[in-house]
Every structure is written in C-alpha cells, then in structure tokens.
Amino acid sequence: MTESKVPDIIIGRMPMYLRALTRMAEEGKTITSSQELGTRLGLSSAQIRKDLSQFGEFGKQGTGYNIDFLAEQIRRILKVDGLWEVALIGIGHLGTAIANYGGFVDRGFQVAALFDNQPDIIGKQIGRLTVQPMQTMVEEIRHKKIRIAMITVPAKVAQQVADACIEAGVRSILCFAPTSITTPKGVRVEYSDPVLHLQRMTYYLQS
Amino acid sequence: MTESKVPDIIIGRMPMYLRALTRMAEEGKTITSSQELGTRLGLSSAQIRKDLSQFGEFGKQGTGYNIDFLAEQIRRILKVDGLWEVALIGIGHLGTAIANYGGFVDRGFQVAALFDNQPDIIGKQIGRLTVQPMQTMVEEIRHKKIRIAMITVPAKVAQQVADACIEAGVRSILCFAPTSITTPKGVRVEYSDPVLHLQRMTYYLQS
DNA sequence: TAGATTGTTAATCGATTAACAATC
DNA sequence: TAGATTGTTAATCGATTAACAATC
C-alpha cells in the first residue's frame, strides 16, 4: 500500500547525486548536507531531501549525510553496486574512444563485447577485447546474458541494430546515433547526442 | 507585454524536434503531423503543438507541417542556422573522436580550435587543426571570439579549465567530464556523461 | 464537401518549494 | 545546551493533457 512508484524524474537525479558524492569523497570530505549538495548541483536543498526520502532515511538531524554511506545506498538503489556487462556496437572513432574509456568500471559497468560490420575493423584488438562481426552479435549477447547495449553506429542503421540487440535479450539501450529509436515496452532507451546539448544553449547566446 | 519567457524545458525539446524532422526529410518525407512527430519521439501530439505555438504558427489545419519549413524555423529559433565555432579542450581518446566527428557542421557547429597540455599531444594534427598548448588557450579563444567550449579533460581539472574558458569569453560549456562545474550567471553548462544515462536505466532492470 | 489537423483554452496532473516539528 | 539539519506536510507553482472551434 506504500508501494507507490518513484517518479522517473527522481530516478534521473539519483546518478547526479552519486556522482557529486563520489567527487566529494575524492576531495577527502566525509560529511555533507542537502544544502551543500544542492549548491553543487544547482538544486534546492528541499528537493534533495525530498528525493532521498523516497528511498529511506539516510541522514542525521543537525549533522547531515555521511558521504560514503549515502553513496553506497544510492549505488544499491540504482543497482550499480555490482558490475553490468555492456555490449558496444559500432567501433568507429567514437566506439573506439568508448571502448578505451577507463571510467566505466568503478561506476558499475564493463564493456564486455565489441561488434562492427566493416571488414577492416573486425578483428581489431582493443584492450582485452576483439571486435567481432555483426553476424555473431545476437548469439554472443544471448550467450553472455548481456542486458545493456551502447550503440555507436550511423543513424541510418541504429534502429535495426537496436532491434537485433533487443531480440538478443538487451533491455537497456544507450543510443549515440543522432536519431530516435522505437522499442517495445520493457526496453528503455536513453540518448547521448552532444549536438542536442549544444543546440539547447545557442538559443540563449546572443549571436 | 506578450514578452513571456519560453520555458527552458520547451527549449530543451526543440533540438529533438529538429533532429526528428531532419531524419524525416532524409527519408524523403515532405509533410508531417504533431501526431506522427509525437509517436516518433514518445510525446503527445498536444505537447508538440503547444511547444511549437510558443514561437508562431507553423502548420496548416487539416494538413500538418511542411518538414523543411518547420526545420528551418526551428533552426532560426535555436540560432543554429549559421555555424558556431567551438573550442575543444582535452585531446585524449574522447577529444580525438569528437575532433574527428563529421556530424557537427550540418547541425550548426564547427570545431575550430584544439587544446591540451600534454607535450606528446600538443602539435598533433587532426583534420585541418593542430593541437595547441593550454597556455595559448585564453588568448586564442578571445581572438577568435569563440563562445562555446567542449571540455573533455579529467574531472579533477574540469573546473579550472572551465574558469579559463569563461575568462576568455566562452558563454556555453558542454562538459564531458564526470563532474559538476559551477559558473557565473550568464554562462550555461550542459553535461554529457554516458554513465549517468546507464545508471538511470539499471534501476529498472531486474538484476 | 468531408475529413483531418492545427492552435488554444481550461482542467488536470505532478513537481517544487516553503516551512517547521523533530531531534541529533 | 544551542545550533544545525533532517524528513515531511501543505501550499504553490508549472507542465501536460483533453477537448474543440477554426479552417485548410
């Protein structure tokens, strides 16, 4: 009966809180407050307390929040206290940069398989991984029980690659191609398109 | 008196509309409707009509919207009908991928200067650009009157790089480092952190 | 014309904020 | 203790949706 669903918009802010807490810990801090977190993130302290209260009581009146403790709770809530294997499809410039990126593992993710369909890219070695041909993708994702894919292919083929990923069992897709893709219920998509962010800012610039 | 400010959240959706329209045009379509756009983007048709009505009347009753015309209007509204020069700071794996990315120009942006502080990276040639040392950054950005920067440096130095950019005249920053940065009023920041997107989706996955 | 779709209004829904008792 | 900050309630604010006259 207290089973009310946490709003998506709050789930969307939790990773920001986790990131800020991680930075604070790196800076050697051990305690923070909703006020301090809010200032860092440009949010009100009330909003941060309200958001966190959706999941439990993590603070102490008069003192604030223990940074390590709160970070650990948020990791547990978001289920990033383990390590998710992620498939990466499209090993061009961007895909290569992502495959080489060292910042995934300590935030809960590991690139576990690379795919492309270009003959000159297949077989390429990146770290401990070898780029595999697209034809093997569905079987490989299914076999490894991978649930998350990052798609860095051209916009034109993003939908069909996404479809294949979903067929193979993927349930979360991070799409880097500048296009929207449609997915059946139960499959989430998020988009990472830097140009979208740039275009959001030019409106406010005086040309 | 009708000078009411357009909500940020609507400005944030306009680039999505533009991207969808561009894809439709590529597919050879010439006309669309709020209904069709909504289906593609996962939004209600009412919301799309309401958003567009903030800026004018772009459609025809009974017919819908001319895709090329509406796209052009949105480009004008967002001020991406020209070409903004952008500085890119931090030429590691990700910075290199971004410098090589071909998808900026036809969406209103051009990477116009590259900076890094690593001796083995300075002088590197990417396309028609040469990586310049950080020491020259402020002068160079000021001289070229660049207003937009993309920051792909480690989190630890992101704030100081941002500060230098702002000193040089930058007013919009796209931060790829996994950290929040604070800026004075009048300077906008957006963040591109793929891990944030991934962490938003794991909550909904059954582990 | 008949059918379709816009632009807009009013109603609904949901998110944010202000305020404060509880308490460390 | 006195000061500080939480968790929560109620009030406010803003965004979304439903509905429809206007009209192509």
By the CB < 8 Å criterion, does B100 face chain A? yes
pLDDT (0 to 100) of residue B207: 76
Average pLDDT score over residue span B154-181: 97
Confidence of residue B101 (pLDDT cuts 50, 70, 90): very high
Q: Could you report the per-residue pLDDT of A93-130, keeping only the tens digit for each?
A: 999 999 999 999 999 999 999 999 999 999 999 999 99
Q: Could you report the per-residue pLDDT of B115-154, keeping only the tens digit for each?
A: 999 999 999 999 999 999 999 999 999 999 999 999 999 9
Kindly state the tokens that stand for B68: 């090329």
Provide the CB-side half-sphere exposure for A167 (13 A, CA).
11
**All protein residues with a CB under 7 A from any atom of strand C:** A 7-10, 43-44, 46-47, 49-50, 60-63; B 33-35, 45-46, 49-50, 52-53, 57-65
Spanning CA of B38 to C1' of D15, the rounded length in angstroms is 17
pLDDT (0 to 100) of residue A156: 95
Which of B10, B146, B183, B202 is best to mutate for the A interface (most A CBs within 10 A)? Answer: B202
Nearest to A152 by CA among B38, B103, B149, B22: B103
Which nucleotides of strand D lie within 7 A of protein CB?
Answer: 2-9, 14-19, 21-24
Kindly state the tokens that stand for B66: 């001319």
Question: Residues B23, B71: contact at Cβ < 8 Å?
Answer: no
* Alpha-carbon distance A130 to nearest alpha carbon in chain B (angstroms): 18
* Helix, strand and coil percent figures for chain A, each rounded to 5: 45, 20, 35
CA distances from A83 to A132, B13, B52, B199 (A): 22, 33, 42, 11
Confidence of residue B1 (pLDDT cuts 50, 70, 90): very low
Please work out, in degrees rounded to the nearest 5, the angle formed at the alpha carbon of residue A103 by the alpha carbons of A90 and B184: 105
Q: Could you give the 3-state DSSP secondary structure of residue B171? A: coil
- Report how far apart the first and last C-alpha atoms of chain A are (Å, whole number): 54
Average pLDDT score over residue span B168-180: 97
Across the interface, whether the CB atoms of A205 and B12 are under 8 A apart is answered no
Single pTM value for the model = 0.95
- How many angstroms separate the CA atoms of B22 and B101, rounded? 18
Nearest to A104 by CA among A124, A87, A121: A87
Q: Is the CB of B58 under 7 A from strand D?
A: no
pLDDT (0 to 100) of residue A101: 94
Across the interface, whether the CB atoms of B180 and A205 are under 8 A apart is answered no
Q: Which residues contact A17 (CB under 8 A, 6 or more apart)?
A: A37, A41, A48, A51, A52, A70, A74
Kindly state the tokens that stand for B87: 């500085």
Query: Domains of chain B (ranges plus CATH)?
Result: 3-77 (1.10.10.10), 84-196 (3.40.50.720)
Q: Show residues of chain B in contact with A146, CB under 8 Å.
A: none
Per-residue pLDDT of chain A (207 residues; tens, 9 = 90+): 345 789 999 999 999 999 999 999 999 999 999 999 999 999 999 999 999 999 999 999 999 999 999 999 999 999 999 999 999 999 999 999 999 999 999 999 999 999 999 999 999 999 999 999 999 999 999 999 999 999 999 999 999 999 999 999 999 999 999 999 999 999 999 999 999 999 999 999 987
Specify the nucleotide whose C1' lies closest to residue B52 (CA): C7
By the CB < 8 Å criterion, does A155 face chain B? yes
Q: Could you report the per-residue pLDDT of B125-134, keeping only the tens digit for each?
A: 999 999 999 9
Q: Show residues of chain B in contact with A16, CB under 8 Å.
A: 180, 196
pLDDT (0 to 100) of residue B2: 42
- How many angstroms separate the CA atoms of A21 and B154, rounded? 17
Kindly state the tokens that stand for A107: 């935030």
- How many angstroms separate the CA atoms of A132 and A71, rounded? 36
Interface of B with A in 112-141 (CB under 8 A): none
- How many angstroms separate the CA atoms of B87 and A133, rounded? 36
Tell me whether strands B129-133 and B64-66 are parallel, antiparallel or unpaired.
unpaired
The DSSP string of A27-57 is TT--EE-HHHHHHHHT--HHHHHHHHHTT--
By the CB < 8 Å criterion, does B203 face chain A? yes
Kindly state the tokens that stand for B91: 């030429």
The average confidence (pLDDT) of chain B is: 96
Q: Could you report the per-residue pLDDT of B50-60, keeping only the tens digit for each?
A: 999 999 999 99
* Alpha-carbon distance A136 to nearest alpha carbon in chain B (angstroms): 24
pLDDT (0 to 100) of residue A92: 96
By the CB < 8 Å criterion, does A76 face chain B? no
The dihedral built from the CA positions of residue B64, B69, B72 and B78, taken in this order, carries a sign that is negative
**Helix (H), strand (E) at residue A78:** helix A67-78
The one-letter amino acid at B163: D
The one-letter amino acid at B135: Q
pLDDT (0 to 100) of residue A207: 77
Interface of B with A in 5-44 (CB under 8 A): 11-12, 14-16, 18-20, 23, 40-42
